[in-house]
């Protein structure tokens, strides 16, 4: 067998094996997070956004996947704007626990939210 034929067979084998691989699963499950952020900037009712995000969060948790970075922070901001401080604190702490790199920003938001309560 010539080198060209061996090389062709080897390449064909690699392509067959590579074609059988499944695509990796996404790291996060987004659901309607991105459209809800868009709705937020359009000024749509926050109650509907919270309902959609909470519903999607239940789907994400049921599937065993993870919400993307910023999901809990955005939900916390919605709760803050609605005056639901307990839920806001819970969401900011969840964001900080899941994504430690967000810690300084979540601490900043918590500190400013508490400072706003005392004025």
25 domain-assigned: no
78 domain-assigned: yes
Structural domain of 74: 30-118
Which stretches of the chain are DSSP H helices?
3-20, 33-42, 46-63, 71-81, 85-98, 103-118
**How does residue 119 score in pLDDT terms, banded at 50, 70 and 90?**
very low
CATH of the domain at 47: 1.25.40.10
Mean pLDDT of 4-22: 73
34 domain-assigned: yes
Note the pLDDT tens digit of each residue in 47-66.
999 999 999 999 999 999 99
Note the pLDDT tens digit of each residue in 26-52.
788 888 888 888 888 888 899 999 999
Structure tokens at 117: 């309560």
6 domain-assigned: no
76 domain-assigned: yes
Q: How far apart are CA 92 and CA 97, in angstroms?
A: 9
Q: What is the count of structural domains for the chain?
A: 1
| Rounded (5°) CA angle 86-43-55 | 50
22 domain-assigned: no
The model's pTM: 0.75
94 domain-assigned: yes
49 domain-assigned: yes
């Amino acid at each position: 067998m010539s080198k060209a034929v061996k090389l062709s067979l080897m390449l064909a084998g690699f392509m067959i094996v590579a074609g059988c691989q499944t695509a990796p699963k996404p790291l996060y499950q987004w659901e309607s997070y991105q459209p809800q952020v868009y709705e937020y900037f359009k000024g749509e009712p926050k109650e509907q956004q919270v309902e959609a995000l909470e519903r999607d969060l239940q789907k994400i948790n049921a599937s065993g996947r993870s919400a993307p970075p910023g999901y809990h922070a955005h939900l916390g901001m919605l709760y803050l704007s609605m005056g639901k401080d307990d839920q806001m604190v819970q969401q900011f702490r969840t964001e900080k626990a899941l994504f430690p790199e967000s810690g300084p920003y979540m601490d900043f938001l918590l500190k400013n939210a508490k400072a706003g309560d005392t004025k």
